[in-house]
C-alpha cells in the first residue's frame, strides 16, 4: 500500500526535528493504514490487533500439545508429528481462507508435506516385522539375545528354506552330503 504525501511529510518533519539520539521509527498496523510511532529502542503497542481466527488458535494449541508430549511415551515422535500435521493444516486453512497471505500459506503447505513424509517414514520403521511362526521360537531363544533385529532375522529366513522331515528320514550323511555350503538349524525334534 503506497504512502500518501501527508504521512511522508509527518515522517520527514519528525526525523528532521527529532532531538532523540537513538529514536527508531516503527510502523504499526491500524486496520489498513500505517501509523508511525517513535520509540527509544523499545516498541510500544498503542493499538492492539483483534484476536486471530479460531483456526489459528487451534493450530497453536496443537503445536503446544505436540511439544508437551513426554519423551517416555513410546510413540512420542510419531505423536508429535501427527499433532504438527494438524497444526499446519489449521494454519493452511487460516492463511488461505481468512487472511489470504500466500507466503504463510506456502510455508505451511511445505511443512505439511514434510510432516506427511516424516510420518510415513516413522510409521514404516515402527511397523512390526512379521516372522513366520515356525521361526518365532528360534528368533526369541537364539537370535534376539545376540542383538539381531527382527528385520535382519527376516532377511536371513528369506534366504533359507524350511525343510520338513518325517521321523526316520535322513537329512545329511557323513562323507556324502557336502558341508560348508549351508547352515542348518533344527527347530523341532531330535537328531
Give the domain ranges of the chain. Answer: 5-40, 54-126
Query: pLDDT value at position 28?
Result: 47
Query: pLDDT value at position 117?
Result: 94
Nearest C-alpha neighbor of 11 from the set 36, 40, 45: 36
* Rg, Å, the chain Cα set: 34
Contact 36, 6 (CB under 8 A): no
| C-alpha torsion sign, points 104, 42, 48, 58 | positive
Q: DSSP string of 31-91? A: TTEEEEEEEESS---SSPPPPPPHHHHHHHHHHHHHHTS-TTSTTHHHHHHHHHHHHHHHH
pTM strictly above 0.85:
no
DSSP letter for 181, please: S
pLDDT by position in tens, the chain (length 191): 455 544 444 444 444 444 444 444 444 444 444 454 544 555 566 676 666 888 888 888 988 888 888 888 888 888 889 999 999 999 999 888 888 888 989 999 999 999 999 999 988 888 877 787 778 888 888 888 998 888 888 888 888 777 777 887 777 777 777 766 677 777 777 76
Alpha helices in 127-181 (DSSP H): 133-138, 150-159
Q: For residue 49, how many other CB atoms are within 10 A of its CB? A: 10
Q: Determine the Cα–Cα distance for residues 51 and 54; give it in Å rounded to an integer.
A: 9
Residues 6+ apart with CB under 8 A from 122: 77, 78, 81
Nearest C-alpha neighbor of 185 from the set 130, 141, 131: 141
Residue 179, all three cell numbers? 558341508
Amino acid at each position: 500500500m503506497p504512502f500518501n504525501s501527508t504521512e511522508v511529510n509527518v515522517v520527514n518533519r519528525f526525523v528532521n526535528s527529532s532531538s532523540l539520539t537513538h529514536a527508531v521509527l516503527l510502523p504499526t498496523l491500524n486496520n489498513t493504514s500505517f501509523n508511525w510511532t517513535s520509540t527509544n529502542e523499545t516498541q510500544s503497542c498503542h493499538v492492539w490487533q483483534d484476536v486471530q481466527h479460531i483456526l489459528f488458535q487451534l493450530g497453536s494449541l496443537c503445536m503446544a500439545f505436540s511439544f508437551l508430549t513426554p519423551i517416555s511415551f513410546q510413540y512420542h515422535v510419531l505423536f508429535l508429528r501427527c499433532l504438527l500435521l494438524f497444526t499446519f493444516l489449521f494454519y493452511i486453512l487460516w492463511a488461505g481462507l481468512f487472511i489470504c497471505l500466500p507466503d504463510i500459506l506456502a510455508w505451511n503447505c511445505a511443512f505439511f508435506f514434510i510432516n506427511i513424509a516424516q510420518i510415513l517414514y516413522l510409521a514404516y520403521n515402527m511397523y512390526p516385522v512379521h516372522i513366520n511362526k515356525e521361526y518365532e521360537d528360534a528368533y526369541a531363544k537364539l537370535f534376539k539375545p545376540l542383538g539381531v533385529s527382527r528385520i535382519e532375522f527376516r532377511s536371513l529366513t528369506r534366504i533359507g528354506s524350511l525343510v520338513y522331515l518325517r521321523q526316520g528320514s535322513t537329512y545329511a550323511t557323513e562323507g556324502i552330503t557336502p558341508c560348508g555350503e549351508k547352515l542348518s538349524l533344527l527347530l523341532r525334534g531330535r537328531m
